[in-house]
Chain A
Amino acid sequence: MAKAVGIDLGTTNSVIATTEDGHPTVIPNSEGSRTTPSVVAFTEQGERLVGQLARRQAILNPKGTIYSAKRFIGRRYDEVKSEINAVSFDVVAGPDGAVRFNVRGKQHAPEEISALVLRKLADDAGKFLGERVTEAVITVPAYFNDAQRQATRDAGKIAGLEVLRIINEPTAAALAYGLDKGANETVLIFDLGGGTFDVSLLSIGEGVVEVLATAGDGHLGGDDFDRRIVDHIADEFQRDNGIDLRQDPQALQRMFEAAEKAKVELSSVTQTTISLPFVTADATGPKHLNTTLMRSTFEQITGDLIERCTDPVETAMADAKVTANDVDEVILVGGSTRIPAVQALVRRLTAGKDPNMTVNPDEVVALGAAAQAGVIKGEVEDVVLLDVTPLSLGLETLGGVMTKIIERNTTIPARRTEVFSTAEDNQTAVDVVVLQGERERAADNRVLARFRLENIRPAPRGVPQIEVTFDIDANGILHVSARDKDTGAEQKVTISETSNLDQSEIERMIKDAEQHRSEDERLREVIDARNQLDSIAYQVEKRLQELGEGVPAHEKARAEMLVGDARQAIKEEAPVERLRNLAAELQQVFYGLTAATAGAGPSGRGGSGGPGPEGGPGAGGDEDVIDAEFTTDE
């Protein structure tokens, strides 16, 4: 079955997304970008270029490069007089006063231009997905009239797409946040992109979306912010050097690129540097532009641009007859809403509400359109709703830590097997403690079950192989089994309450783990170091025994002393540094002993994750503890 997609057909950039198993995702174009410039060029050689390639040749071909087609689509020539002056190509009146673009004597309809953009998006997406894209939901601004909507639909048709539906951009944004599923709400969508600003107020309830009001500014966006930075740095440079860089096309280009970069950086840091070495030269030699731009300065030079967003918001609210307090949700759309001052303004205008911005604002419209396409195609129905494990599941291992077997958020059903070993020589039983939670220390997690596997044949520690399997079925029921690979003996337990925690409890446990993360990491580090040191001490000791008199006395004395130190350090709970140093020294000694009697390697285990001494904390006294992992497989 062909894939249905959602397309945000933008004024400057377009985005295409699809739903996979109910999850909307953006599809990159053939150049690897997630957005595609809405630009089409007709070259002198009769070639047609779409997207980035069209943009790259724009200045060679100002009359043949069509951009901003969205400003013209579905409109009559006499309605667009003001837009005509803002573009470099020729706009003429066609049949019945419709808008046409005149390129070298040939007339092109705006729908045709948009169709070429849609075709590229769909073709590239088809290549990416490995299946043809034939059906689409396309978005338009909420203020588009019937003619503009129809023309957009026609563009889809010309592109060979079946247009499942035309939906409003703000509606798509609300769908991306799943707001259609909630109770009755008033939602404000604030969309500040590269060159346009749109505000919409929606009323959403029981799957019905009503547009209460729209307002905006057709010529306000991120590009204006870039221009302010360019002017700021050019003025400064002119003051200091007496040269106006804006007169030099190459310098101007570099300044625009640097300005946008600085602007984007100032959305996450409070100060940035703009550095354009060798930006120009005069009689005295080359000149460099080096300056620091503070976020506060940026906010000062763009204050009036931010202020221009206020009126449309207030107008929309007045038209919709709602006050700031009536607004239940605020959604930010468009790359420029990442600017902190824009976010602050939105908060101010909506009585301090925290806006929704977890979905990437440049992609949220396309994602919502894709979600809608998925719903229309009934894809969602077909999907078996897959559950995930809300918390990690694992075992208590040596040192009283939790070793996770199934990570949190694993899609179930799932099955994992790991092989463990014993911690002591001649250990004949192991205790399996099944844990749930995110903390490193076993005692900080929830114990789901414990059982004991007995009659392990006596062997040195680390030799027995105990295969532990966690199998969680589609209903969240967990089966844990432990099998002695040597004897085939097996013990198992079934736990049905892995999922009977309520959401708040799960959230508490996750938050807890986050809060204690660094402390837990340290703990884990110490225990791992301790286990490792113990393991290598054990190996050295064993080697000494095996070699007996073959070891030179001084070497033997040194080895024994180090083993003693190691045991002492472990008992005293020495700091990690000391544990690691001792382990490194013992490692050296071990290699020395091995080299002395070539051929005898360490008994099949690496330096880490070795067995440990006493039962770990929490497994007090004579309890037998399962050792850290040995090998893994699926």
Chain B
Amino acid sequence: MSDMRPEEPKEDETGSATKIAELEDRWKRALADLDNHRKRAARDAERQRFAERARTVAEWLPVVDNLERAIEHGGADCAVLLEGVRAVRDQALELLTRLGFPRQDDVGRPFDPTRHEAVATVPDAEVPEGTVVQVTRPGYGSGDGQLRPAQVVVSKGTQTDGPGS
């Protein structure tokens, strides 16, 4: 009611004004934190879904690799069986494509560390140096959707041993 205020409460008042400002600041920070967290969580969920799918699919790739090897090594004496294996392999490749990880065909491309992992080099006069001449284990997917890079053999030009030619 009265306008006369003793000194003390005045101090109190500035004190509580600071307090209010501080609390308001914290409150806004908390809200901002929550909001940022929500956005991050949404992004993370997306990323994790992809990562988990990729991880699961990648675990199966060795099976596909081994089907390839079976086809590669299969002799003429088991042509019928081989035909079946080939069909299974094609089915697997189609499935991988559908899941967003198509098999990459890298022979003849220039070596690119974002897509390839070099496992060996060979001299090769036919193609420019740094060309993928053989894929020892194919890569699946590309860009952000890369499941694994291809393991490749790369040409080392005409040079066989030591300098000079």
Name A residues whose Cβ lies closer than 8 Å to a Cβ of B: 21, 32, 41, 44, 49, 53-54, 56-60, 130, 249-250, 253, 277-278, 281, 285-286, 384
Residues of A within 8 A of B117 (CB): 56
Residues of A within 8 A of B161 (CB): none
CB proximity to A under 8 Å, residues B82-138? 111, 113-114, 116-121, 130, 136
Residues of B within 8 A of A60 (CB): 111, 118, 121, 130, 154
Q: Does B79 have its Cβ within 8 Å of any Cβ on chain A?
A: no
In chain B, what residue has the closest Cβ to A279? B69
Could you mark each residue 34-55 of chain B with 1 if its beta carbon is under 8 Å from any beta carbon of chain A, else 0? 0000001000000100010000
Q: In the complex, what distance in Å separates the CA atom of A633 from the CA atom of B149?
A: 46
User: Chain A nearest CB: distance from B128 CB in Å?
Assistant: 12
Q: Does B19 have its Cβ within 8 Å of any Cβ on chain A?
A: no
Q: Does B21 have its Cβ within 8 Å of any Cβ on chain A?
A: no
Q: Does B158 have its Cβ within 8 Å of any Cβ on chain A?
A: no
Residues of A within 8 A of B70 (CB): 277-278
In chain A, what residue has the closest Cβ to B69? A278
9 new A-B contacts at CB < 8 Å, known A57-B111, A57-B116, A60-B121: A32-B47, A32-B51, A53-B113, A58-B118, A60-B130, A60-B154, A277-B70, A278-B69, A281-B73
* B116→A277 contact, CB < 8 A: no
- 29 sampled A-B residue pairs with Cβ under 8 A: A41-B113, A44-B130, A49-B113, A53-B113, A53-B114, A54-B113, A56-B117, A56-B118, A56-B149, A57-B116, A57-B118, A59-B118, A59-B120, A60-B111, A60-B154, A130-B40, A250-B119, A250-B120, A250-B136, A253-B119, A277-B66, A278-B70, A278-B72, A278-B73, A281-B73, A285-B75, A286-B73, A384-B26, A384-B30
Given A57-B113, A59-B119, residue A253 in contact with residue B73 (CB < 8 A) = no
Residues of B within 8 A of A54 (CB): 113
Q: In the complex, what distance in Å separates the CA atom of A384 from the CA atom of B121?
A: 58
In chain B, what residue has the closest Cβ to A30? B144
Q: In the complex, what distance in Å separates the CA atom of A60 from the CA atom of B116?
A: 11
Q: In the complex, what distance in Å separates the CA atom of A44 from the CA atom of B154?
A: 14
Residues of A within 8 A of B30 (CB): 384
* A253→B111 contact, CB < 8 A: no
Residues of B within 8 A of A56 (CB): 113, 116-118, 149
Residues of A within 8 A of B40 (CB): 130
Q: In the complex, what distance in Å separates the CA atom of A41 from the CA atom of B114?
A: 13
**Count the A-B residue pairs with Cβ separation under 8 angstroms: how many?**
52
Task: Please tell me which one of the listed residues B73, B118, B130 contacts residue A285 in the complex, with CB atoms under 8 A apart.
Answer: B73
Task: Please tell me which one of the listed residues A44, A49, A249 contacts residue B119 in the complex, with CB atoms under 8 A apart.
Answer: A249
Given A59-B121, A278-B66, A286-B73, residue A253 in contact with residue B151 (CB < 8 A) = yes
| Chain B residues with a Cβ closer than 8 Å to the other chain, count | 26
Q: In the complex, what distance in Å separates the CA atom of A53 from the CA atom of B146?
A: 13
Q: In the complex, what distance in Å separates the CA atom of A86 from the CA atom of B9?
A: 76
In chain A, what residue has the closest Cβ to B154? A60
Task: Please tell me which one of the listed residues A44, A130, A249, A278 contacts residue B120 in the complex, with CB atoms under 8 A apart.
Answer: A249
Q: In the complex, what distance in Å separates the CA atom of A277 from the CA atom of B71?
A: 12
Residues of A within 8 A of B151 (CB): 253
Q: In the complex, what distance in Å separates the CA atom of A328 from the CA atom of B110?
A: 57
In chain B, what residue has the closest Cβ to A47? B113
Residues of B within 8 A of A130 (CB): 40
Q: In the complex, what distance in Å separates the CA atom of A53 from the CA atom of B121?
A: 17
User: Residue among A54, A56, A384 with the most chain B CB within 10 A?
Assistant: A56
In chain B, what residue has the closest Cβ to A277? B66
Q: In the complex, what distance in Å separates the CA atom of A210 from the CA atom of B114?
A: 44
Residues of B within 8 A of A278 (CB): 66, 69-70, 72-73
Q: In the complex, what distance in Å separates the CA atom of A286 from the CA atom of B40?
A: 51
Q: In the complex, what distance in Å separates the CA atom of A360 from the CA atom of B154?
A: 38
Residues of A within 8 A of B66 (CB): 277-278
In chain B, what residue has the closest Cβ to A278? B69
In chain A, what residue has the closest Cβ to B47? A32
Q: In the complex, what distance in Å separates the CA atom of A49 from the CA atom of B113?
A: 9
Residues of B within 8 A of A58 (CB): 118
Q: In the complex, what distance in Å separates the CA atom of A49 from the CA atom of B33?
A: 35
Q: In the complex, what distance in Å separates the CA atom of A58 from the CA atom of B116?
A: 11
